[in-house]
Amino acid sequence: MPGRNGRAVVLIHGLTGTPNEMRFIAWFLNTHGYTVSCPRLANHGQPLDILKSTHWEDFYGSVRQAYQALRADHSHIYASGLSMGALLALLLADEFQGAVAGVSCLSPTLFYDGWNVPWYHFLLPLGSHTPLGHYAYFKEEPPYGLKNERLREKVHQFYKNADIHAIRDVERFGYPFFPVRLLGELRRLVRHLQKRLPFVHCPCQIIQARHDDMSSVRNAQFIHDRVASTRKEIVYLENSYHIITADQERGKVAQSMLDFFAHEENHAQDHAPP
């Protein structure tokens, strides 16, 4: 979505998600002048047997490519992502030190430790290293990261009759089934990112729902305490679950991001050489 202020934002959807979950944020930032790029991560939209064989490096490659396409025409480029997308945004800030103007992490997920995650969930990544892991899936269950009942019901109507062998409407709601093997890939990504967090120096914002059903506030605090950013902040939400880009407080999320970006631009202008 082309902008008019010379600045850009890369918005990154979550694992097994879709760019559609970033739609409101993209529209909001674009109306305020920002160019918005929201890449579809590698093999998302493909049949599950293709997606499940994808590596986290391939997902990051999609983000990196989108960022590179913006560099020539934009003075400030920000990165923001939802859930796993937040982790990829942090990797982008680490790789392009001094070039990424800031990062906004939305419901970052290093640990699946929210109130709706079953106790046995921590065992599933172990299964990804066995032959069974290549064939195992679990089905997404309510509330699907959404506190908004109307939107949750829409997703439920799609998910309840979903067929694992027939992919339809994935571009709207993401995948109803989650391959266990991808939990292993997420764990590999987290291990890599944990080593890189101390090298992230750009301004860092984290927006986290206190009642996130998938990832607790521990995730936000973990990142906040380990990045080397001089300016960093956590914005807490009181009336949302995991998919904060589409849930009850999506307007607050968008405005918080806009304010964060504007602050960094004003700070850069104030400290620019005469």
Task: Write out the chain's pLDDT in tens, 274 residues.
Answer: 999 999 999 999 999 999 999 999 999 999 999 999 999 999 999 989 899 999 999 999 999 999 999 999 998 999 999 999 999 999 999 999 999 999 999 999 999 999 888 755 555 555 555 555 566 787 888 999 999 999 999 999 888 888 777 777 787 888 998 988 898 899 999 999 999 999 999 999 999 999 999 999 999 999 999 999 999 999 999 999 999 999 999 999 999 999 999 987 776 665 554 5
| CA contacts within 13 A on the Cβ side of 6 | 3
**Token match 């269950």: residue?**
141
Domain for residue 113, yes or no? yes
| Domains identified in the chain, total number | 1
Q: Which of 148, 262, 256 is nearest to 208 (CA)?
A: 256
CATH number, position 244: 3.40.50.1820
Residue 100 belongs to domain spanning = 7-265
* Both structure tokens of 201: 């120096």
Domain for residue 272, yes or no? no
Domain for residue 273, yes or no? no
Domain for residue 270, yes or no? no
Domain for residue 102, yes or no? yes
* Both structure tokens of 13: 């959807």
Cα angle at 65 between 191 and 46, to 5 degrees? Answer: 80
DSSP 118: -
Domain for residue 274, yes or no? no
Domain for residue 131, yes or no? yes
Domain for residue 224, yes or no? yes
* Both structure tokens of 177: 């089934």
Per-residue CA distances from 140 to 24, 161, 272 (Å): 23, 12, 49
Give the other-Cβ count within 10 Å of 107's Cβ. Answer: 31
